Amino acid sequence: MQNPNIIQLSEFDITQKIIETLSNVCTRSVLFSVKNESKDATQIADELKISLSTVYKTLSTLEDLALAEVDRFIISSEGKKIKLYRSRIGKVEITMDDMEPSLNLYSNTSNPKSNI
């Protein structure tokens, strides 16, 4: 059975998916890495000392959940188009009320394009 895409998930499922995603230390590290400045996947991998494939997979997940976005593109000296990523969120609050999780996401104030 194929996993549902983000549109097919209920609000609770989306909250749960975001909480699960943010519970991963690697995911949080990647998100924090691009909070204050846009970076490409190679810069993130080098900075965090993790594999490039892990960075790409993490960025894809963060994009799917609208937690990160492609801020802009640059052209390398070899003429390749490179994506620069930026966090859309600056702060996350997770609380529990009657065994139901509540998630509050706050826009990244260092990212003027972000509107959550």
Look up the CATH number of the domain holding residue 15: 1.10.10.10
Domain encompassing residue 28: 11-107
- pLDDT of res. 100: 78
Query: 6 to each of 10, 23, 65, 85, 87, how far by Cα in Å?
Result: 9, 18, 7, 20, 18
In this structure, is the dihedral angle defined by the CA atoms of residues 43, 75, 110 and 53, taken in order, positive or negative?
Answer: negative
pTM: 0.78
Number of domains in the chain: 1
Is 113 within a domain? no
pLDDT grade, residue 10 (50/70/90)?
low
Q: HSE of 101 in the Cβ direction (CA atoms, 13 Å)?
A: 15
26 contacts 67 by C-beta, under 8 angstroms: no
Distance CA 18, CA 15 (A): 5
* pLDDT tens-digit map of 23-64: 999 999 999 999 999 999 999 999 999 999 999 999 999 999
Counting every residue written for the chain, the total comes to: 116
**In a domain? residue 3:** no
Distance CA(19)–CA(93), nearest Å, equals 10
Assess if residue 39 is contained within a domain. yes
What is the rounded average pLDDT for all residues in the chain? 85
* Closest to 83 measured CA to CA, from 54, 31, 44, 29: 44
Q: What is the pLDDT of residue 53?
A: 97
